[in-house]
Structures are given as C-alpha cells and as structure tokens.
C-alpha cells in the first residue's frame, strides 16, 4: 500500500521532539506540507531543514506555548487567519506527574487548559475549512492511561479521558462531512518525557533509571519500548485516504501492554 499525502497540509502539535517530531517527519515523507507547532523555534528551524520536501512541500513552523492558554489562543487564531489545513494532529506536552492525593483543584484547571481547551479550540478553527472542503483528518495523541490509569499520572489520566470522549462525540457530528477523528493511545516510547518520568520513579523507588527502564520493558509483551517513528507510521495511515472509514476510534499503540479490551 502506497500512502500519498501530496497536496495535503498538516499542523502537528508538540513537534519539536519525540512523538510529535516523528509524526511530522513521516507526514512530510508521505508528501504533506507540514507546519510544526511547539515552543522551541531553534529546534523547529533545524527540523524543517531536514524534513523531506522532495514533492514540492512547503514546510513552516508556529511558535506557541501550550501552557499559556490565552497566549496560545492568540497565536493559533492568527495562524488560521492566513492558513488552512487538511490534517490536524493534536499533541501537547504532558502535565506534571503526581498522584491524585498530591494534586489540587488548580492543578486540574491547568491540565484542563493544556490538554483539553487547546485541543478543542484548535479543532474548532481547523474544522471550518475541512467542512467546506468535505475532507479532513484529526488525530488526537492521547495515552493508554485513559483505559488503564497510571496512578502517578492523575492529571493526564483525567483530562486525556475527557479528550477521547469529546472526540468520540465530535466524530459522529462531522462524519457526514468526510472528516475522521481518531485518538491514538500511547504506550511506552523512547522519548524525553519517558526519561523524565523514569527519573522521578527512580528517585521515589531508590533505584537507577536503567532499572526503571528494564522493568518497563519487561511489562511490555514485545519486551521493548516503542520507537517514535513507529508512531509516525500509524498517524500517517490515519491521515490518509486509505483510512477514510475509520473514525471515532481509540487505537492503542503500546506493544500489547494494555490488558483490557
């Protein structure tokens, strides 16, 4: 199967590193013109120089701070005044780790702004052109913790669950417009985020980060954690014409880690 996204325009959140970067690179390799969206302008400039543009793609970047919702609203609104997209990948950095007893109401509000409000607001802006064009792809990068909560990620568990249920509701409403909305449920991947979480676990357990990683790999049936480029393959398929009949789903990408159906 040959996936071509030539002529499509994609906006990818959190794309200066990790999973977001891998998604952006794979979309570009399949022919899409990609707008990177993250905080690090220097890093995004470097990525654009390396991204595939052999099919005449025009890549660009947008500097945003997902942790400041009002500033984010201004930046993303200005972007959509002059740009349209066909593919939206909603992805942000995760909120701070911690259990339910550690977090206060204000922490949940910050996480809600970061993970939910930014996704909903961006999607609303992107949908206008998608509906006019009768074609669109929206992919939300979520977590396996919406199915099996991780006790040290109380904020992420709670708010990402809201994102996937919102996406399911919206998928029904826009399916008639040729727009699909799906959520990918992230397992353990080789990213800076996992490294940071493992450092915190190591401190709490009094063991080394390498031991934490080894324990993590042992939990995964494939006995390894995922490579970011593997994530890019899944999202690129969901963004393609070949995935036109897939919508309203939550797709785990976790090496078989989830035990629930």
What does the pLDDT look like over 209-230, one tens digit per residue?
Answer: 999 999 999 999 999 999 999 9
**Whole-model pTM over 0.85:** yes
Structure confidence at residue 54 (pLDDT): 96
Kindly report, residue by residue over 75-117, the tens digit of the pLDDT.
999 999 999 999 999 999 989 989 999 999 999 999 999 999 9
pLDDT for 200 equals 84
Contact 40, 16 (CB under 8 A): yes
Please tell me the predicted confidence (pLDDT) of residue 20.
Answer: 98
Q: Provide the mean pLDDT of the chain.
A: 96
Q: Which two tokens stand for residue 197?
A: 């979480």
Among all chains, which residue has been given the structure tokens 């909560």?
149
pLDDT exceeds cutoff 90 at 261:
no
Query: Is the pLDDT confidence value at 206 over 90?
Result: yes
Q: Is the pLDDT of residue 197 over 90?
A: no
Interval 117-138 mean pLDDT: 98
Q: How high is the pLDDT of residue 135?
A: 98
Query: Mean pLDDT, to the nearest integer, of 172-201?
Result: 94
Q: What is the pLDDT of residues 144-170, one digit of tens each?
A: 999 999 898 999 999 999 999 999 999
CA distances from 57 to 52, 154, 208 (A): 8, 40, 44
Average pLDDT, stretch 196-213?
90
> In the chain, which segments carry CATH 3.40.50.720?
9-187+228-253
Instruction: Average the pLDDT over 251-259 and give the result.
Output: 97
- Is a pLDDT exceeding 90 seen at residue 259? yes
CA distance 225 to 42: 28
Backbone angles phi, psi at 84, to 5 degrees: -125, 155
* CATH annotation of 9-187+228-253: 3.40.50.720
Residue 193's pLDDT band (cuts 50, 70, 90): confident
Residue 17 confidence (pLDDT):
95
Task: Give the DSSP letter string of the chain.
Answer: -----TT-EEEEETTTSHHHHHHHHHHHHTT-EEEEEES-HHHHHHHHHHS--TT----EEEE--TT-HHHHHHHHHHHHHH---SEEEE--PPPPPB-TTT--HHHHHHHHIIIIIHHHHHHHHHHHHHHHHT-EEEEEEEEGGGTS--TTBHHHHHHHHHHHHHHHHHHHHHGGGTEEEEEEEE--BSSHHHHHHHHHHHHHHTS-HHHHHHHHHHHSTTSSPBPHHHHHHHHHHHTSGGGTT--S-EEEESTT-----
Confidence at 10, pLDDT banded by 50, 70, 90? very high
């Amino acid at each position: 199967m040959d996936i071509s996204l030539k002529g499509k325009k994609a906006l990818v959140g959190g794309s200066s590193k990790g999973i977001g970067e891998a998604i952006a690179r794979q979309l570009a390799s399949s022919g899409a013109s990609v707008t990177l969206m993250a905080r690090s302008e220097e890093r995004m400039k470097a990525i654009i120089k390396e991204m595939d543009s052999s099919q005449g793609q025009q890549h660009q970047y947008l500097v945003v701070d997902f942790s400041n919702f009002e500033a984010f609203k201004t930046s993303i609104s200005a972007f959509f005044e002059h740009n349209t997209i066909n593919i939206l990948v909603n992805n942000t950095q995760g909120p701070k780790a911690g259990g339910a007893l550690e977090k206060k109401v204000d922490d949940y509000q910050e996480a809600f702004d970061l993970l939910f409000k930014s996704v909903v607001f961006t999607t609303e802006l992107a949908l206008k052109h998608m509906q006019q064009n009768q074609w669109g792809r929206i992919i939300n990068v979520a977590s396996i913790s919406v199915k099996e909560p991780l006790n040290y990620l109380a904020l992420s568990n709670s708010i990402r669950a809201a994102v996937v249920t919102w996406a399911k509701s919206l998928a029904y409403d826009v399916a008639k417009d040729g727009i699909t909305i799906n959520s990918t449920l992230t397992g353990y991947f080789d990213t800076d985020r996992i490294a940071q979480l493992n450092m915190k676990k190591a401190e709490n357990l009094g063991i080394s980060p390498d031991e934490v990683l080894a324990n993590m790999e042992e939990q995964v049936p494939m006995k390894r954690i995922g490579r970011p480029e593997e994530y890019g393959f899944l999202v690129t398929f969901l963004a393609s014409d070949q995935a036109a009949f897939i919508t309203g789903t939550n797709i785990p990408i976790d090496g078989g880690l989830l035990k629930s159906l």
